[in-house]
Amino acid sequence: MSKVYRAILVGTGGIADAHVRAAEATKGRVVITAAVDIDATRVRTFSDKYKIAGAHTDYATALAAEKPDLVFIAAPPSLHLTRLDEYRRHGSRRLGAL
């Protein structure tokens, strides 16, 4: 059996749906275990809609709690490098972006 990669999704705005579809297209190889957004209501609504177990409002907390293999960044482009740097400090080397 192939490895299943645990992923978190950072940002739950307009492009986030495409990231969920991309994970779903892997037919179980990538599972989004949590979503992260600064808006608590939006992240909980998004997580409920897609049956994503975790909903966080803090990226560092999500990294520590979820220990993802992958991170999908669906946040504004100005935040991509900051998020990537934090993710790499977490010890991971894989990044998903659409």
Domain that holds residue 73: 5-89
Q: What is the torsion angle, in degrees rounded to the nearest 10, for the CA atoms of residue 84, residue 85, residue 86 and residue 87? A: 50
Residue 74 within a domain = yes
Domains of the chain: total: 1
Residue 97 within a domain = no
Residue 34 within a domain = yes
Residue 70 within a domain = yes
Binned at pLDDT 50, 70 and 90, residue 12 comes out as: very high
Task: Read off the pLDDT of residues 51-76 as tens digits, 9 standing for 90 and up.
Answer: 999 999 998 899 889 988 888 888 76
Residue 96 within a domain = no
Residue linked to tokens 């220990």: 67
- Decide: pTM greater than 0.85: no
Residue 43 within a domain = yes
Return the CATH number at 54.
3.40.50.720
